Amino acid sequence: MLIGFDTLVFYTFAVITVLAGLSVITARNPVHAALFLVLAFCSAAGVWILLEAEFLAITLVLVYVGAVMVLFLFVVMMLDINIEKLREGFWRWFPFGGVLAAIMVGQMIWVLGSRQTSETGAQVLKHSASYSNTKELGRLIYVDYVYPFELAAVLLLVAIVAAIALTLRRRKSVKSQDPAKQVLVQKSDRIRIVSGVGKHGTE
């Protein structure tokens, strides 16, 4: 065999990821673009599993594919996007975008090509089957870096509260139902037996 099974799997996933990524920006239909993004996420998760980062890989699928992209698709499907209008500004903004892209490529080459990262990347650690990536991550997050992690969590919480507070604006002119009140309604709240034959009115 010329190449190992791992390498074969890696290249398969890598090629799919890159092609899907390209399709995301070239697809004419925004729904197709979103679906290609899903494919890119899934194959990226495959690459991560090869790196023994199964927790991160599954979380990527769970959070991004299972939840975020669903909401994304949700929005994209509902929008009536005029593609022609979107394409109009392409050449006008091309120089700006091009510069931005060039900077990003430069940064990536700088980071990935530097001696330090390339050396550690040369020999990937292989662990035994009992190695749990999840446990390692948990130890890092909740023991070694607990304060930065908690800080990030609080930051996110603040963001969530802010986002919800922004939507907590009720227009007075609009009538709305409160399902919580509706489901709590009992028979006695709505019905009053005015007269009846028996003791309880219904016999």
Partner 1 sequence: MMELLQYLENLLGSAWLPIWTLVKILVIVVPIMLTVAYLTLAERKVIGYMQVRIGPNRVGYFGLLQPLADGLKLLLKEIIIPSGSNKFLFVSAPILALTPALAAWAVVPFSDGMVLANLNAGLLYILAMTSLGVYGIIIAGWASNSKYAFLGSLRSAAQIVSYEIPMGFALVCVLMVSQSMNLGDIVLGQKSDVGLFGWYFIPLFPMFVVYFISGVAETNRSPFDMAEGESEIVAGFHVEYSGMAFALFFLAEYANMILIAILTAIMFLGGWLPPFDIAPFNLLPGIFWLLAKTSFILFLFLWFRATFPRYRYDQLMRLGWKVFIPLTLVWVVVIGAWMQTPYWLW
The residues binding partner 1 (CB under 8 A) are: 31, 35, 38, 54-55, 58-59, 61-62, 65-67, 70-71, 73-74, 77-78, 132-134, 177, 179-180, 182-183
Residue 193 CB, shortest distance to partner 1, in Å, is 25
Two tokens at 107? 């940064």
> What phi and psi values does residue 51 have, to the nearest 5 degrees?
-85, 10
Instruction: Give whichever of 29 and 114 is closer to partner 1, judged by the CB atom.
Output: 29
Dist. CA 170–CA 22, nearest whole Å: 43
Residue 156 CB, shortest distance to partner 1, in Å, is 15
Instruction: Give whichever of 67 and 100 is closer to partner 1, judged by the CB atom.
Output: 67
Query: Do 33 and 17 contact (CB within 8 A), yes or no?
Result: no
DSSP designation for 184: T
Instruction: Give whichever of 10 and 72 is closer to partner 1, judged by the CB atom.
Output: 72
Residue 171 CB, shortest distance to partner 1, in Å, is 17
Instruction: Give whichever of 67 and 102 is closer to partner 1, judged by the CB atom.
Output: 67
Q: Which helix (H) or strand (E) holds 120?
A: helix 115-122
Residue 178 CB, shortest distance to partner 1, in Å, is 9
Q: Among residues 21, 14, 26, which one has the least CA distance to residue 36?
A: 21
Two tokens at 127? 């662990």
Residue 119 CB, shortest distance to partner 1, in Å, is 29
Q: Among residues 63, 74, 6, which one has the least CA distance to residue 34?
A: 74
Instruction: Give whichever of 108 and 154 is closer to partner 1, judged by the CB atom.
Output: 154
Output the CA angle 90-92-96, nearest 5 degrees: 95
